Chains A and B, each alone.
Chain A
Amino acid sequence: MNLELMKQQLTGEYREAFSAVWVYGTMKNIAADLLEERLTELYDSLYTAQIEKKDVRRIIGSSTERFCKNFYEDYTFADRLRQLPALLYRWAWVVLVMVLLPLSGRSERGTTQNILPILFAIGVGLVFELVCRFVFLPLMCRSRKIKSGTWSNIAFISLIVMFAATIVFQASLSVKLEVPALPLAIGAGAYIAVFFAVRSYLRYKEFGTIRDVRKQMRKDSYYKEISDQQLEQTVLKTWQKQYTKFSSKGKATPDSYIGMLKKNEKANDIANTAIDLFMAACFISIVVDKVQDYQGVADLLVYLAFMGTLMFFFWRFISGAFRRGSAIRKNLIRECETAGQTMPDFITERLAVNS
């Protein structure tokens, strides 16, 4: 997300250069934190060049491909191996969720778990990486100009197709790879605990705290500001486009447009409440389901704590984005009313100030 916001701040050739280096790094499967670190530095140089109106070639040279190769040249196999514990940590969560929730592959008695879907998913990930590295990347570099958008779309669609094909193939298979569910869950849980402890220790040793300092630094820095400003800019541009369309069809006038927006906001509030109610209903149904399958107080509490936490974060993720957008839109409507302007005039003026 941060990288996306950085991209939005760049224009023209600077943005295209940034995107190309980003797509190249993603296709080479450079670790996410390292990619972000490198691209943040590149962004700073490109952004400075953009402000100072310096040629983009001053930063990336005449060949984007050569730049990309040099830019990531020191990312070795050893670096890739260092990412393995973090990758396993994510997979351990997947395994744990699959075992704790009857998502797929659980035997009727619940004592064994079919791990074939997990192995297939890992396999698809590996094949996708190889395809990106040995097919897409050379083709992308061979084309006259690196079109990052096209190639990231091709890669994304390929991944979806591969996953869909795997699901269909796996559904047609009658073979299962059953392993005892409890040891699998304990193994995954133990790995998560050990990983968490080691990561906390290393963070404490390096930064004096177990919190993710780098994440906090990003929060404290410019990104939040960019994010809010960017969101506001996007809202204003959407409104401007919408107003042009509506007014050309005679559906809106400068005075009536604000009323339409207020009506939309009311509909959005209803949608937000519906999301809250839906999530609450989901949680209640999970509780009822588990109570019917009662296997002791401890089991019930652990299950509900796990599901509650999972659903809370999911709700916060879904609802947070809605609420933030809604707050920005409502604030703009309020400001427009206070200024006593028509909405189209307010939008034009605000866009000019922001740019």
Chain B
Amino acid sequence: MDNAQLLKGVLEGCVLAIIAQGETYGYEIIGALEQAGFEDIGEGTLYPVLTRLDKNKLIQCRKAKSPLGPVRKYYTVTSEGAECLADFKFRYRQIAASAATILFADEKEDYHES
């Protein structure tokens, strides 16, 4: 199964969660995702996600000069974004628990047998 398809579903929520921690920018978000273990972020997937979140008014951005000089887009979460994140967390937990029940059922049985 394509990793990108799996990633797409959760990436938006994760990016939203990173931005919710405080004002941040593209390069920093890539770093945070990498640190968390997401490997395929350097494939251009982040930028459309940021645009989508911005279009849906879940985040807002301001442009300012970065310490290195060029203009940088700094992102923050809007109130709608915060609500959406809370909802995403709730739904994700439910889906992850349901999926785990099916996906790791044999591992559980093995564990009980041993």
Contact = CB atoms under 8 A, between A and B. Distances in A.
Interface in B27-79: 27, 30, 34, 40-45, 47-48, 50-52, 63, 65-66, 68-73
A61 B27 contact: no
B48 A45 contact: no
- Chain B interface mostly: mixed
Contacts of B65: 221-222
A48 B28 CA distance: 10
Contacts of B45: 70
Interface of B: 4, 25-27, 30, 34, 40-45, 47-48, 50-52, 63, 65-66, 68-73
A218 B44 CA distance: 24
Interface of A: 6, 9, 38, 40-45, 47-49, 51, 57-63, 66-74, 217-218, 221-222, 225-226
Contacts of B69: 47, 222, 225-226
A63 B70 contact: no
A17 B32 CA distance: 22
Contacts of B42: 57-62, 67
A70 B43 CA distance: 7
Nearest to B51: A74
Given A44-B25, A74-B51, A222-B65, A61 B43 contact: yes
A43 B68 CA distance: 12
B47 A42 contact: yes
Contacts of A62: 42
B71 A69 contact: no
A41 B34 contact: no
B71 A74 contact: no
B48 A73 contact: yes
A222 B70 contact: yes
A63 B40 CA distance: 11
Given A41-B47, A57-B42, 4 more contacts: A45-B26, A61-B42, A70-B47, A73-B48
Contacts, number: 82
B71 A70 contact: no
B51 A43 contact: no
Contact of B47 (A38, A47, A226): A38
Contacts of B48: 70-74
A44 B42 CA distance: 14
A217 B70 CA distance: 11
Nearest to B49: A74
Contact of B27 (A45, A69, A226): A45
Q: 8 closest Cβ contacts across the A-B interface?
A: A70-B44, A71-B44, A67-B44, A61-B43, A61-B42, A74-B48, A45-B27, A222-B69
27 contacts: A38-B47, A38-B51, A41-B26, A41-B47, A45-B30, A47-B68, A47-B69, A47-B70, A48-B68, A57-B42, A60-B43, A60-B44, A62-B42, A66-B44, A67-B42, A67-B43, A68-B44, A70-B44, A70-B45, A74-B48, A217-B71, A218-B71, A221-B65, A221-B70, A222-B65, A222-B69, A225-B69
A44 B51 contact: no
B23 to A, nearest CB: 15
B73 A61 contact: no
A44 B63 CA distance: 12
B34 to A, nearest CB: 7
Contacts of B30: 45, 58-59
B32 to A, nearest CB: 13
Contacts of B73: 40-41, 44
B62 to A, nearest CB: 10
Contacts of B68: 47-48, 51
Contact of A69 (B25, B44, B50, B72): B44
Contacts of B43: 60-61, 63, 66-67, 70
A42 B43 CA distance: 12
A74 B43 CA distance: 14
A46 B47 CA distance: 13
Contacts of B70: 6, 9, 40, 43-44, 47, 221-222
A217 B52 CA distance: 23
Contacts of B34: 58
